[in-house]
């Protein structure tokens, strides 16, 4: 039976291990050491490396892992010039079978955080490995893409089934939901979520995975067509793209109390 396990890395990254009790694929190994430690402790054989984008905290461990394990490295063809050498370059809409595992993934191009970002959706299991495109209650900074690109990418992910589990790459939920609560102080559901997440983090527990359904209700970046969010950034009646750009700018300057 397939499972997903989080390996904490750096200050707040999650490296995701997809495994069946004997074999494992790793998503975004920014650091090789915790991955090698996990493989040694559990006895799993590494079968594949999946990359969502080129940032060092997502690809920094690939060289060492590849030197120890002769496994395919999978990433976006359009970002191949900035990724470690790829064994398999996928494009938007491609369907792939994860080597060594009974798992099918669909590649979803999601430009915004970077122009070459890609997510992996496992429709059968209801899993989404979304790197830095979508966070719980937030989204990544817009380093390379445009508001039009990013808002469309997020709308695409929001259209996935509500039960889809969201395996984002960072433990940013508390800061993100604090921003959402400050943006819409009258939203009781968001305020309740803030209290729940504060309690989880106080106990040292992870907030991930989230779900698409939960994100649709609590994540302001997935609610840019809602009047409440538009009003909060003084753009009621404007397009979702314009609202997204304003919310992203507000989040960039936000500091949680």
Q: Which residues are catalytic?
A: 53, 55, 57-58, 113, 132, 170
Alpha-carbon span 224 to 239, nearest angstrom = 8
Alpha-carbon span 132 to 134, nearest angstrom = 6
Alpha helices per DSSP H over 43-82: 56-59, 62-68
Question: What DSSP designation does 85 have?
Answer: P
Alpha-carbon span 238 to 217, nearest angstrom = 20
**Residue 240 CB neighbour total at 10 angstroms:** 21
Cβ neighbours of residue 111 closer than 8 Å, sequence gap 6 or more: 117, 144, 145, 149, 150, 153
């Amino acid at each position: 039976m397939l499972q997903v396990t989080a390996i904490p890395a750096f200050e707040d990254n999650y490296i995701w291990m997809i495994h069946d009790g004997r074999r494992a694929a790793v998503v975004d190994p920014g650091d090789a050491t915790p991955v090698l430690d996990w493989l040694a402790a559990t006895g799993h054989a590494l079968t594949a490396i999946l990359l969502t984008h080129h940032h060092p905290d997502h690809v920094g461990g690939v060289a060492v892992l590849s030197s120890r394990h002769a496994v395919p490295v999978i990433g976006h063809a359009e970002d191949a010039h900035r990724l470690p050498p790829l064994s398999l370059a996928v494009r938007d809409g491609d369907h792939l079978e994860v080597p060594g595992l009974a798992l099918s993934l669909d590649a979803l191009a999601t430009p915004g955080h970077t122009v070459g970002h890609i997510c992996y959706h496992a429709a059968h299991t209801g899993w989404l490995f979304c790197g830095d495109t979508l966070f719980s209650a937030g989204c990544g900074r817009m380093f390379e893409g445009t508001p039009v690109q990013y808002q469309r990418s997020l709308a695409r992910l929001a259209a996935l089934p509500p039960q889809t589990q969201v395996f984002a790459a960072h433990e940013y939920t508390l800061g993100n939901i604090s921003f959402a609560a400050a943006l819409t102080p009258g939203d009781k559901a968001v305020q309740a979520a803030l209290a729940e997440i504060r309690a989880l983090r106080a106990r040292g527990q992870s907030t991930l995975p989230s779900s698409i359904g939960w994100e649709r209700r609590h994540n302001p970046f997935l609610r840019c067509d809602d009047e409440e969010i538009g009003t909060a950034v003084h753009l009621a009646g404007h397009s979702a793209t314009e609202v997204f750009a304003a919310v992203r700018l507000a989040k960039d300057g936000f500091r949680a109390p």
